[in-house]
């Protein structure tokens, strides 16, 4: 069993990490496969980071980062759901 973050209003899932732009910049779209988590706590942490808004690096040497709040990211519109994979021969 796995867990994923789903947007209630659209049914779209938080996608896997992108190679550029970071995880907090990901968009929930119809074309994304869901990012899968082994534990609900991991899915919740990813959702919390995403809800805080896109992360911007202030000083790479000191690892200073700040999240830029996005007013469209409303916690009540997101949920953690169970995902079951079924593997079948074709």
Q: What is the pLDDT of residues 50-63, one digit of tens each?
A: 888 776 656 556 66
What integer pLDDT is reported at residue 63 of this predicted model?
61
Cα 50 to chain centroid, rounded = 6
Domain boundaries, the chain: 2-83
What integer pLDDT is reported at residue 67 of this predicted model?
64
Mean pLDDT (whole number) for 25-52: 89
Rounded to an integer, what distance in angstroms lies between the CA atom of residue 51 and that of residue 18?
A: 17
The mean of the pLDDT values for the chain is 83
Task: Write the DSSP assignment of the chain as a string of letters.
Answer: -EEEEEETTT--BPPPPPSSS-GGG----TTPPPPPBSSHHHHHHHHHHHHH--EEEEETTTTEEEE---TT--GGGEEEEEE-------
pTM: 0.78
Mean pLDDT (whole number) for 61-88: 83
C-alpha Rg value of the chain to the nearest Å: 15
Residue 22 in this model has a pLDDT that exceeds 80 = no
Residue 64 in this model has a pLDDT that exceeds 70 = no
């Amino acid at each position: 069993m796995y867990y994923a973050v789903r947007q209630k209003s659209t049914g779209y899932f938080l996608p896997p990490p992108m190679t550029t732009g970071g995880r907090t910049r990901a968009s929930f779209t119809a074309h994304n496969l869901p990012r899968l988590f082994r534990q609900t706590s991991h899915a919740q942490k990813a959702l919390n980071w995403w809800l805080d808004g896109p992360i911007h690096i202030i000083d790479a040497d000191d690892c200073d980062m700040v999240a830029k709040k996005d007013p469209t990211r409303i916690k009540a519109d997101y949920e953690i759901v169970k995902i079951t994979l079924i593997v079948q021969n074709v």
